[in-house]
A = this chain, B = another copy of it.
């Protein structure tokens, strides 16, 4: 069963969780002085509108009309009840998922790529540089730049550049320019931290160019809150007062934050972050200030981190391979408002196959982490005989990740 809404029900303001946090969020620090970074420190990289959103304590921030016009190409996204999975699990839980895979780029990422491209164009910027790991973020930004007439340069982690030609072709179809990163070490497989350094260097060296980040920062999570705001309204349409449990996979935190943040003030709604055991930032990392990139060019953020020089093992859920986590997500976990759990790759793909053969769609490996946690929660509800309402984020489709499924089905997948 699907709950759809007409396009005029796309939220017209973003939900800012910052003024609603139990403990205030620590400010970002300048990488040189280690003093709180001011707007002028960030101005070479970001348009002022985004810098102001990054530090805003307004409870709601209006979404500009030209951004809404583009979001309405695919929003509101459907909320779907996974009845066939419920039946297969014989659970009294009611399982709903918010389907962000229907966007042109195939994930939630365009929710922030569109406003970022818009604000940059409004400030006269002609070109945006960014990094991409698995390719989801680069695809979303290339798509958004095409629609606003901006040039887009994507530094793609070399391992992905070589293993995922389809993601690169997708960006090029939208007119993006894609190069393998690190650009100065052609033998290195690269990492997200290294690619961020490449993109920041590019943006810092050109007047016409800004930098754009697809996760972690406050303004990115802010833009993603359309997901949770829509889901809240759609759950009402489905006859549910509230979810008991909200689940999202977590790499940098933008997918999880987008779905979960609007539920932060709601009593009795449990929030769960799911990460891979091979890059278990929230469950095994330290809560401290760290750089966002490998080279130490970015401001220092207060977050859970495995260390900015941590290189996670190569897993198929490339979007979850990040050494840090969004300060907002880290704050929620640190203060106990959100729980976190980790799963290994084999368990995650078993869940993905079960999903594909019951619900019919093929999820991204990242999304499959949330599916695995959902299945576990639904089975626990069966044990306890409880009618639990579970909402999880279906962050993206796995159509460009089919090689990962082949590796799993033919026994070539590493377990961790």
Which residues on A are within 8 Å of B, measured CB to CB? Answer: 1-7, 70, 72-74, 80, 84, 102, 104, 106, 143, 146-147, 165-166, 169-170, 172-175, 353, 356-362, 399-400, 402-403, 405-406, 409
Known: A4-B5, A143-B360, A360-B146. A399 touches B73 (CB 8 A): no
A173 touches B361 (CB 8 A): no
Identify which of B106, B165, B172, B356 contacts A173 (C-beta below 8 A). Answer: B356
Complex Cα gap A84–B70 (Å): 9
Known: A1-B7, A7-B1. A166 touches B104 (CB 8 A): no
A362 touches B399 (CB 8 A): no
Residue of A362, A400, A403 with most chain B CB atoms under a 10 A cut-off: A362
B4 touches A170 (CB 8 A): no
Complex Cα gap A80–B75 (Å): 11
Q: What's the least CB distance linking A299 to chain B, in Å?
A: 32
B169 touches A406 (CB 8 A): yes
Complex contacts, A74 vs chain B, CB 8 Å: 2
Complex contacts, A1 vs chain B, CB 8 Å: 7, 72
Known: A2-B72, A72-B1, A400-B399. A360 touches B147 (CB 8 A): yes
Identify which of B2, B3, B406 contacts A73 (C-beta below 8 A). Answer: B2
A399 touches B4 (CB 8 A): no
Complex contacts, A70 vs chain B, CB 8 Å: 360
B174 touches A356 (CB 8 A): yes
B406 touches A84 (CB 8 A): no
> For residue A166, which residue of chain B has the nearest CB?
B402
> For residue A5, which residue of chain B has the nearest CB?
B4
Complex contacts, A406 vs chain B, CB 8 Å: 165, 169, 172
Identify which of B2, B143, B360, B402 contacts A7 (C-beta below 8 A). Answer: B2
Complex contacts, A73 vs chain B, CB 8 Å: 2, 80, 359-360
> For residue A362, which residue of chain B has the nearest CB?
B173
B174 touches A104 (CB 8 A): no
Q: What's the least CB distance linking A397 to chain B, in Å?
A: 8
Q: What's the least CB distance linking A337 to chain B, in Å?
A: 34
> For residue A82, which residue of chain B has the nearest CB?
B73
Q: What's the least CB distance linking A198 to chain B, in Å?
A: 23
Complex Cα gap A104–B360 (Å): 6
Complex contacts, A172 vs chain B, CB 8 Å: 405-406, 409
Residue of A5, A80, A356, A358 with most chain B CB atoms under a 10 A cut-off: A356
> For residue A6, which residue of chain B has the nearest CB?
B4
A170 touches B7 (CB 8 A): no
> Given known contacts A84-B147, A169-B406, what 6 new A-B pairs fall within 8 Å (CB)?
A1-B7, A2-B6, A70-B360, A170-B399, A173-B405, A399-B400
B104 touches A361 (CB 8 A): yes
Complex contacts, A72 vs chain B, CB 8 Å: 1-2
Complex contacts, A360 vs chain B, CB 8 Å: 70, 73, 104, 143, 146-147
Identify which of B3, B4, B165, B357 contacts A174 (C-beta below 8 A). Answer: B357
